[in-house]
Structure 1
Amino acid sequence: MELKEYQQGVLSKLDSYLTVLAEQREQAQDFVEFQKNKGKASTLGDYCREAWDQLNTERLLPYLNQGGNPVVAPYLSRHDGQGLSTPNICFKVPTGGGKTLLATAALERVQTDYFKRQTGLILWVVPSEAIYRQTWKQLANREHPYRQMLERASGGRVKLLEKGDAFARRDVEGQLCVMLLMLPSAARKSKETLRLFRDSGRFTSFFPMEDDSEANQTLLDHVPNLDQNDLADMGFGEGIVPGSVSIKQSLGNVLRLVRPVVVVDEGHKAYSDTARDTLAGFNPRFILELSATPNTNNKHQSNVLVNVPGTDLKDEEMIKLPINVINDGKGGWKHTLTLAHAKQQELEQAALAFQNKTGRYIRPIVLVRVERTGKDQRDAGLVHAEDAREYLRDQLGVKEEYIRLKTSSDDELADEDLLSPTSPVRFIITKDALREGWDCPFAYVLAVLSRTTATTALTQMIGRVLRQPHAQATGIAALDECYVFTFDQDVTQAINGVRKGLEDEGMADLASSVKSVDPGSGQAQNMRRETIERQGKFAGLPPIFLPRVLHRDASVPEGYRPLDYDRDVLGILDWEALQFLGADKATMDADKLERTVARVNLDRKAKESGQTIFELDQEAVDALPEEGLDAPYLVRQLLDVIPNPWQGMRLLEETFVALRDKGVTDEQIYVNRFDLIQAMKADLREQVNAMAEVLFRDKLDSGEITLRLVTSNDPALNWKIAETLEIDVSDVDPLLYRKNGTPLEKNLFEKVYQSEFNNLEKNTAWYLDESKCVYWWHRIAVNQRSYGLQGWQRHRVYPDLLACVHGVENGKFRFSVLETKGDHLKGNDDTEYKRKLFELFTRYADITASIGQLALEDQGDPLSFRMVMEKDWKQGLVDEGIK
């Protein structure tokens, strides 16, 4: 799975944190050793706080909103049940931002980079049964990317556990055990009633015999917060020797012994003293919280390492925006459901047309939120699930198989794959069962059929219709937005309910994307369609064009057409020349076919010497399934790099032959298959990109590919800056002003809104506006994605800003096209690709065609492309000649 740009940023910041944390831990350990050599006792101290303070000093921590002010929240130290400092961080990621993906990717780094181990236990804590089932399904699927990341972290030795499963010490020491746990089953004040903390007799390999008081005491001295049995209750009676101890053989005690890495999903639901104390009592090595809305204001705050704004999801096309709220003040719930049904039919027609054009399948689904669902709750005046079902079926003609009921007692969805083209589901009727842990991206419409709880329902369920199918915009407005239908509501309250829902999903910065739509006219009510003109002093400029990347084609009148990546680049690569260059050097870890089993003995000599005696055994792992290597499945993993499956199969078979010639067995290949595929993809992607770059450069040299202006009115050949802009503006959208509060002076258009800028883009715009050599600047519309540069890789590059810079002579200008990048992306493959592409385009840009654009300098680079990095953005602009 390819990570989104902001997800790479999250993991980059985690890498920085782990590096600093390791350094601080090592310094603390050195100090303890130094004190020990001097005969003085010492502890590690709070090295986690020291690491956090260092990150803060280096300005690597995110700003959070407190009382309307951006601040870095103070660090909150957490200690385990033994009083040891515990690393604890939080990823603030909006709903739909891939929290589980980021967690598994983070665990891979924490395990292998920080702890330098592939075994142990991960305790994955979730707040509810719905999220539990969803997470279990993902992690249990060996073909799912989340599971594959864990397999890589463990060397292919993942063991998935539930709290009721028995497991032994050898499992934890020889595999990476991942246990899912619902927080309510562990976090109660009276733990004696919880099964997790009761003596079960199922974990004998972790403990000495119950009546071996000496061995129990030795273990208790090592881990003081272990729960003990009451020997009297166990029937030992008056024969108990004073001071005798017996440790409970409970799952809770096992966790304290093995010191798990803890993942807390929906971390904001684990702020109570009981929840925090329970998790700390498990003696965690590391705590990673995931939350869309972490607390940063009280004693139970989260240490937010990364703060992903909703705009990042919007820019990566992961969510559907804007949100259209349609409230019918005259009709009842039946009319509202009729409107929702009509919208579903409209969207389905658009989806069918889109599928015929692109092959992408989308089946828009309506979520119907009712007031009653129970069989005995069909009261007059309250909308029941069966009322909605009957109206859809009998009055609106919806087929029975298109409708499903999803409640706590009736789950007609079961395990149905809603994304499958064979699924008929178009309407899902529910009350509260889909409030969390449900993320079907085909859900487009929310119909709230209640008056009294409408605002609450909007807040709780808006996140269910936000996700974008395939995490990729369609380019069709109707399919890139989502819809909410209510009735007899105060419009302002309905809008605020949706905005509150966005805040609860971690997307408060997208509140302006909510607009109220009149059910009759379909026009936005709380948003206005604003026409923005050029600033007066720029109104008389001639048309302004930027060149597109074109390919020579004698069959068309203009002699050029837009570059087609599949046809003009991928389509003519020599795929037969590809081979997995690392096949003969691929590491096949034979140790994965065996696992080490450690048995611990505690006796009097061990106690006296202060040492623990280990007996180590090796045992074989039954690795290869009966069906053998699943080559077609492995080939599918290569398709994002090698789009031709026949070539993929050729490369895989050649790799197998090369490995077998080295004496590698199929069993070894199987247990190392995920590492092998990752190595193949990295190697082959590098070759494909290198071949494509050579081809692209050759075509630029020959003029077959060009970045040029063409004398044509075809917008596909030349990109023209609009004379006026038509945008939807919310009542709460603030304008962008200069830092001193005065109006902008050099932006091409008369006004620009803050919602269009992130912090780096805003700083760059302010600089451009105050630069003496800038004539005008323009924020290229991100939402339209209209000006894109196609290079030798598939994804286009969409620049952020355009500056028209004064030349050396009066009336002469040049254009600077600017792309801003955060520091976390500096030096990565994508950034390096864009840098090289921009250098090429600056060198090869041909803008000599006379089509009415501003007169540009005829010496130097009349059109340049520049990457602006966050850390040295100002120097980058100076180097570009913008001062």
Structure 2
Amino acid sequence: MELKKYQERVIREIKTFLETLAQEQAKGNKHAAYDACKELKFSWLYHQRENGLGKDLPTFCIKVPTGGGKTLLATQILGLAYQTILKSRNGCGLVLWVTPSDQIYKDTLKALKDRSHFYRQSLEIWLSRRIEIWEKTDVHRLTPSQLQSNLNIFLLQLASTNRESREQLKFFRDSGGNIVQHFPPEDEAEAHEKLKEKITNLDMLSDELVKTSLGNLVRLCEPPVILDEGHKATSDLARKTIEGFNASIVVELSATPPKETNVLVRVSGKELLDEEMIKLPMNISNSNQNSWEACLGQARDKREELARIAQKYFQETGQYIRPMVLVQVERTGKEQEGKGFLHSEQIKDHLIQKLGIPEAAIKIKTSEKDDIEGIELLDEECPVEWIITKAALKEGWDCPFAYILVSLNNTGSQLSMTQIVGRVLRQPYAKRTPHPELNESYVFCLRRRAADIALQVKKALEDEGYEGDLASVVDRSEEGGKPQIRETRIREEYRPLYKKFEGKVYLPRFCVKEGDQYKPLDYFRHLISQVDVSKFNYAGVDWDIADDLAAARESFYRMTLGQDELERLEEKESLILETDEKVLAWMTANLPFEYFGQREIGEIAERIYERLCAVNKDLKGRLGLVKFAIKERAVGFIQRETDLQTQKAFEELFDKKRLQFYLECKECRFEILG
């Protein structure tokens, strides 16, 4: 399968990072990942992590919007890892592939087990190795010889690895089967002792006997970890669990990574749209009548219209598309029927009896009832046109034939149609058709103005990784189903003065000369990279914080209880305040300057502290009382000093005649669209 341009870009950037990381690791660098990022001059701050053995754990995220092919990228990155930092493993060993939900687990398992699927083929091309896919139910059959000669992908859900329930504890229990073969015989106490010395975090049955558990086997293998939907694994327990498996590298895939994530590469929604991966714009319509029956009727009419166009497209090209409708209801459980809420069975009956939809074309997908389990929805013989759900499709399910979302839920509630908007985004065959209607998606809503819902859909698109404004959300709620267009005409007396301009208009941009070429001026690469924090004017940190200290102490005292009664704690300040060292560590972690490394931020915090202690004699030992006030002033100080040095760097580029403001550079100039 040919990769899209943005996928090729991701692979190139990851390859550069992994090659640099491998060089740092070869030097024995204990902070290899951090220094690799620093060497590559990334504009963000790398957050270091360690695995269960105390080794540096390279952890990074690929931010890809829904529908961008995260799993395919994961297979490519896994291949790159085995050609760089894991080269010594010769394409063999164990890989831990962690999914957050049952649906994503099933889809990934199905794709990786299918030898004809391009995910599987992609891995085989990279590694030239036999690939085995294992689940928790059969991994006990894994032998040492398979581990040494094959690439073994162990697929599991995140919840299965956490020590929180009886079921999950099985993962860490003493096991039988072939698992035992990976450990020394029980009567060889010395071998067990040496193994424990090498892998220090193994679970033990006794002081001299290593537990032959699946969890321990994973620790022995120090596997690379693929973490699908990485933003689902942000809890301390999830992080510690993955680190405790002695991971050699963690690759996170997410459409919406948290702020502190090490996002190595970002893919924009526009890149997906340009590569014909998604159906946008999304058209939003509201039932003009305040009835769910009318809303369903509109959706039925739109589906039939799309089906006719799809049939025409099939006759033209042989490409088969069966437009499908997702209906979100308020209730699904048996016990919730007849309680005044729209129920899945009620909607199904209406579709059959009132709208003439064949029963075979309607399926219900809930946590209790899964009518689409095992059905190949893309097969030409498949009759499914309607899927009724509540929230079971809110993540991990992507069918490119899904064109229409009908929300019969109360869109004012937290559980609204925005949770499953992403399910209608994927473009069939990742290729636009010559029929615009088949390149867009559609949302029908009940009881709310489409203008209000547009904001909710925008939020939903952002949650799927599509950032930007409402350009891809079209209000179709007006009569006639067309967006309102305002036309402005030129007055006749002025018309002769105007003629159509056939050329292009460009705006100049600042460019920097690098050798014989010009590159667009980049704030981080050309300016921030020249900032030296050791040259900040720390002498200017002469802040008098006596009033802040007095106010903080007074407030602090009022908030504190003694053991028996309210008391003043002048003598006990040192017993309850954070140490200055802890406050400095907190400040280093919380100063909002991601383009500086942790060491640089630490140096700034330390220099500010030293200067403040010299100016304010009562500060030492009481930094915790005024840490927020000092942090606020430090932010302003750092920004001012940074601005001064970046201005100087800009002026030096200008003085050396490396800075130009012109149009010759095609990459730099900005085209004004007509």
- The TM tier, using the shorter chain, reads 0.7 to 0.9
Change (3 A) 1:880 1:738: closer
Change (3 A) 1:192 1:872: farther
Q: Distance in 2 between matches of 1:211 and 1:511?
A: 68
Q: Distance in 1 between matches of 2:667 and 2:173?
A: 68
SS at match of 1:508: coil
Deviation, structure 1 residue 516: 1.9
Contact preservation (8 Å) 2:520, 2:668: no
Change (3 A) 1:738 1:324: farther
Deviation, structure 1 residue 480: 1.1
Q: Which residue of 494, 497, 510 corresponds with 2:456?
A: 497
Deviation, structure 1 residue 171: 1.3
Change (3 A) 1:21 1:540: farther
What amino acid maps onto 1:265 in structure 2?
A: D
SS at match of 1:289: strand
What amino acid maps onto 1:148 in structure 2?
A: Q
Change (3 A) 1:400 1:873: farther
TM-score (norm 1): 0.56
Indicate the residue corresponding to 2:361 in structure 1: 402
1:219 maps to 2:195: yes
SS at match of 2:416: helix
Q: Distance in 1 between matches of 2:174 and 2:16?
A: 42
Q: Which residue of 51, 63, 78 corresponds with 2:49?
A: 78
Change (3 A) 1:455 1:204: closer
Change (3 A) 1:873 1:475: farther
1:45 maps to 2:27: no
What amino acid maps onto 2:275 in structure 1?
A: E
Deviation, structure 1 residue 379: 2.2
Indicate the residue corresponding to 1:286 in structure 2: 249
Contact preservation (8 Å) 1:319, 1:466: yes
Higher relative contact order (CA 8 A, sep 6+): 2
Contact preservation (8 Å) 1:189, 1:274: no
SS at match of 2:368: coil
Deviation, structure 1 residue 54: 1.2
Q: Distance in 2 between matches of 1:152 and 1:421?
A: 30
Indicate the residue corresponding to 2:99 in structure 1: 126
What amino acid maps onto 2:121 in structure 1?
A: Q
SS at match of 1:194: helix
1:475-507 deviations in Å (ceiling 9; x for gaps)? 322111111111111444411221111111000
1:512 maps to 2:497: no
Indicate the residue corresponding to 2:572 in structure 1: none
Segments of 4+ moved more than 3 angstroms? 188-193, 452-456, 490-493, 528-534, 536-546, 736-740, 760-763, 871-876, 878-883
1:140 maps to 2:119: no
Mapping 1:235-384, distance limit 5 Å: 244-296=207-259, 301-384=260-343
Indicate the residue corresponding to 2:176 in structure 1: 201
Q: Distance in 1 between matches of 2:242 and 2:471?
A: 38
1:184 maps to 2:159: yes
Higher helix share: 2
Deviation, structure 1 residue 420: 1.6
Q: Distance in 1 between matches of 2:12 and 2:669?
A: 30
Change (3 A) 1:538 1:295: farther
Deviation, structure 1 residue 409: 2.0
1:574-600 deviations in Å (ceiling 9; x for gaps)? xxxxxxxxxxxxxxxxxxxxxxxxxxx
Change (3 A) 1:463 1:396: same
Indicate the residue corresponding to 2:583 in structure 1: none
Deviation, structure 1 residue 331: 2.3
Change (3 A) 1:81 1:416: same
SS at match of 2:664: helix
Mapping 1:753-792, distance limit 5 Å: none
1:792-816 deviations in Å (ceiling 9; x for gaps)? xxxxxxxxxxxxxxxxxxxxxxxxx
Change (3 A) 1:306 1:371: same
Deviation, structure 1 residue 189: 5.0
Gaps of 5+ in 2: 511-518, 523-657
Contact preservation (8 Å) 1:191, 1:197: no
Q: Distance in 1 between matches of 2:434 and 2:463?
A: 28
Mapping 1:851-870, distance limit 5 Å: none
Change (3 A) 1:382 1:423: same
Contact preservation (8 Å) 2:162, 2:168: no
Change (3 A) 1:224 1:432: same
Change (3 A) 1:291 1:382: same
SS at match of 1:89: strand
1:110 maps to 2:100: no
Q: Distance in 1 between matches of 2:156 and 2:668?
A: 58
Indicate the residue corresponding to 2:39 in structure 1: 54
SS at match of 1:410: coil
SS at match of 1:376: helix
1:818-862 deviations in Å (ceiling 9; x for gaps)? xxxxxxxxxxxxxxxxxxxxxxxxxxxxxxxxxxxxxxxxxxxxx
Q: Distance in 2 between matches of 1:541 and 1:282?
A: 71
SS at match of 1:288: strand
1:112-135 deviations in Å (ceiling 9; x for gaps)? 233222101110000011100000
1:676-702 deviations in Å (ceiling 9; x for gaps)? xxxxxxxxxxxxxxxxxxxxxxxxxxx
Q: Distance in 1 between matches of 2:489 and 2:19?
A: 48
Mapping 1:411-810, distance limit 5 Å: 411-451=370-410, 456-509=415-468, 511-518=470-477, 520-524=479-483
Q: Distance in 1 between matches of 2:421 and 2:223?
A: 35
1:163 maps to 2:136: yes
Deviation, structure 1 residue 53: 0.9
Deviation, structure 1 residue 454: 5.9
Gaps of 5+ in 1: 30-43, 62-71, 232-243, 547-720, 722-735, 741-759, 764-870
Contact preservation (8 Å) 1:333, 1:450: no
Across the aligned residues of Structure 1 and Structure 2, the Cα RMSD in angstroms comes to: 3.2
Identity %: 41
Change (3 A) 1:761 1:93: farther
TM-score (norm 2): 0.72
Deviation, structure 1 residue 371: 1.3
Indicate the residue corresponding to 1:10 in structure 2: 10
Change (3 A) 1:228 1:389: same
Q: Distance in 2 between matches of 1:161 and 1:456?
A: 35
Indicate the residue corresponding to 1:40 in structure 2: none
SS at match of 1:75: coil
SS at match of 1:163: coil
What amino acid maps onto 1:83 in structure 2?
A: G
Q: Distance in 2 between matches of 1:179 and 1:533?
A: 67
Q: Distance in 2 between matches of 1:882 and 1:138?
A: 44
Contact preservation (8 Å) 2:411, 2:417: no
Q: Distance in 2 between matches of 1:443 and 1:192?
A: 36
SS at match of 1:440: coil
Q: Distance in 2 between matches of 1:198 and 1:541?
A: 81
Q: Distance in 2 between matches of 1:77 and 1:225?
A: 20
Q: Distance in 1 between matches of 2:60 and 2:358?
A: 49
